[in-house]
């Protein structure tokens, strides 16, 4: 199971035609409480179907939500084992199926994904779209059961896999330090929960409890379906009939994420592990939501501060002062957080922290060079344009728009970033507050 659906493995073949459709989101149906969107594109020879269930991050459900998709992927009606599923995928022109979860702000997203060859490139009488949709709906709504519950063996095996995933967090010290800073910073908020839960929570889950939880969630959680590629009228009719037959209950409401929070005292935390290089993380509250105009200036601010080789952190902390092996800044848009992370010599912690904070002061004082500003805009433009090279990244972009209740297109986002001025960046810099300092140091 993947920690983020943007890491799923799949094959995409770019179109050589110059008549490439611009990727735009179109809502094509809302049936049975399920919203369906089409991102029309002829850029690839494959299409995808993505089904997302959104839930609030909650300590009582986080581990259960993390576990049941991995049990569902073990088998379904007509394909009761992984071997059966893999054979089916091979016979379907090497189709790709995966599922997993991701945390976006204080939402836990359960994702089911299927990539298949577009019908225009096959000679099959049956539509690949219908077969792909039937497969995903069978996986979700017709799981392989044993005595009217989940297969006990499947559940225990997936519990072991999930526990190993949780235990392996410490293997990637860079990511672990980032996650740990966020979790400590938001320890009294839903965002502080690890999206896969804890080992203790996983160990306590029973097959019957998990099956009951699964049935409740797939019938009540808000659902969004994103389909990439071109659909014909018959595909849409098949889609509507299939979704209309699903047994759904009243849709569960979702809570808004906590974003704006005043910091009255900076918190300091430290962990010791078997490391030679210290990992310094500084967590900030931006107090800016992603549906505010200031958000676009925040993107530019983050880029100037630590978004690449042109940035103040890279040039002044890493290159000139030689204090960091790596250093960068990143945003958590759904929660209004910013983090600065660096790998440093352990004895240089205080010096590095002071120099990092000096870079924030430089921006506040208006010391932004034309090179820093223009390079940041160019870097953001390149990053946004590159999203179009991946169907999953385009889907993730538009899902994020729905979650944050914004309505940007890729082109619209570019235009808003290009309108940002240096003064906008300076104004935004004054809203950002240091909340938490976390240091991963050596045991010695």
Tell me the pLDDT tens digit for each residue of 294-308.
Answer: 999 999 999 999 999
293 HSE (CA, 13 A, CB side): 5
Sign of torsion, CA 252 256 258 259? positive
Give the per-residue pLDDT at 251.
84
Mean pLDDT of 358-380: 98
Give the per-residue pLDDT at 423.
98
Task: Tell me the percentage of the chain whose pLDDT exceeds 70.
Answer: 94
Domains of the chain: 5-244 (3.30.830.10), 267-442 (3.30.830.10)
Q: How confident is the model at residue 230 (pLDDT cuts 50, 70, 90)?
A: confident
The predicted-structure confidence for 322-345, as pLDDT tens digits, reads as follows 999 999 999 999 999 999 999 999
The predicted-structure confidence for 407-419, as pLDDT tens digits, reads as follows 899 999 999 999 9
> What predicted TM-score, i.e. pTM, was given to this entire model?
0.91
Mean pLDDT of 135-158: 96
Q: How confident is the model at residue 124 (pLDDT cuts 50, 70, 90)?
A: low
| pLDDT at position 3 over 80 | no
Q: How confident is the model at residue 1 (pLDDT cuts 50, 70, 90)?
A: very low
Q: How confident is the model at residue 19 (pLDDT cuts 50, 70, 90)?
A: low
| pLDDT at position 362 over 60 | yes
Task: Tell me the percentage of the chain whose pLDDT exceeds 90.
Answer: 84
- Average per-residue pLDDT in the chain? 92
Angle in degrees, 0-180, between the axes of helices 294-306 and 422-429, rounded to the nearest 10: 90
| pLDDT at position 16 over 60 | no
Q: How confident is the model at residue 121 (pLDDT cuts 50, 70, 90)?
A: confident
Question: In this structure, are strands 223-228 and 149-150 parallel, antiparallel, or unpaired?
Answer: unpaired
In order of 44, 154, 295, 326, 332, the CA distances from 8 in angstroms are 17, 22, 28, 26, 21
**Contact assessment for residue 333 and residue 396, using Cβ atoms and an 8 Å cutoff:** no
Give the per-residue pLDDT at 381.
97
| pLDDT at position 23 over 80 | no
Which residues, including other chains, have CB under 8 Å from residue 354's CB and lie 6 or more apart? none
Give the per-residue pLDDT at 259.
84
The predicted-structure confidence for 75-91, as pLDDT tens digits, reads as follows 999 999 999 999 999 99
């Amino acid at each position: 199971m993947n920690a983020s659906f943007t890491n799923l493995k799949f094959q995409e073949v770019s179109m050589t035609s110059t008549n490439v459709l611009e990727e735009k989101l179109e809502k094509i149906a809302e049936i049975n409480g399920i919203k369906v969107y089409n991102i029309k594109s002829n850029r690839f020879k494959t299409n995808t179907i993505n089904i997302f269930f959104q839930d609030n991050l909650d300590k009582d459900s986080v581990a259960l939500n993390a576990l049941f998709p991995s049990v569902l992927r073990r088998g379904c009606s007509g394909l009761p084992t992984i071997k059966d599923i893999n054979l089916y995928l091979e016979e379907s022109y090497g189709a790709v199926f995966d599922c997993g979860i991701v945390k976006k702000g204080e939402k836990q997203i359960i994702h089911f994904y299927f990539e298949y060859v577009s019908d225009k490139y096959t000679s099959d009488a049956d539509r690949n779209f219908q077969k792909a949709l039937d497969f995903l709906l069978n996986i979700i709504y017709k799981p392989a059961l044993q005595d009217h519950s989940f297969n006990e063996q499947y559940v225990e095996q997936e519990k072991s896999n999930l526990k190993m995933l949780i235990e392996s967090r410490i293997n990637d010290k860079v990511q672990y330090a980032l996650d740990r800073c966020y979790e400590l910073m938001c320890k009294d908020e839903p965002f502080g929960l690890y999206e896969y839960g804890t080992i203790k929570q996983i160990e306590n889950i029973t097959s019957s409890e998990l099956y009951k939880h699964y049935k409740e969630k797939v019938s009540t959680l808000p659902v969004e379906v994103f389909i990439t590629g071109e659909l014909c009228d018959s595909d849409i009719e098949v889609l509507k009939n299939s979704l209309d037959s699903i047994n759904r209950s009243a849709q569960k409401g979702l809570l808004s994420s906590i974003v704006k929070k005043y910091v009255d005292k900076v918190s300091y935390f430290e962990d010791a592990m078997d490391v030679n290089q210290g990992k310094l993380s500084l967590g900030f509250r931006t107090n800016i939501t992603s549906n505010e105009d200031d958000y676009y200036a925040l993107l530019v601010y983050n880029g100037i501060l630590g978004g690449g080789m042109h940035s103040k952190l890279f040039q002044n902390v890493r290159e000139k002062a030689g204090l960091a092996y790596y250093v960068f800044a990143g945003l958590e848009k759904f929660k209004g957080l910013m983090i600065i992370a660096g790998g440093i010599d352990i004895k240089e912690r205080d010096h590095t922290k002071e120099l990092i904070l000096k870079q924030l002061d430089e921006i506040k004082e208006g010391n932004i060079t034309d090179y820093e500003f223009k390079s940041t805009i160019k870097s953001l433009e390149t990053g946004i344009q590159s999203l179009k090279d991946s169907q999953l990244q385009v889907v993730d972009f538009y899902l994020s728009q729905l979650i944050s209740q914004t309505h940007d297109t890729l082109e619209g986002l570019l235009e808003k970033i290009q309108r940002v001025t240096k003064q906008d960046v300076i104004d935004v810099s004054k809203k950002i507050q240091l909340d938490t300092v976390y240091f991963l140091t050596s045991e010695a």
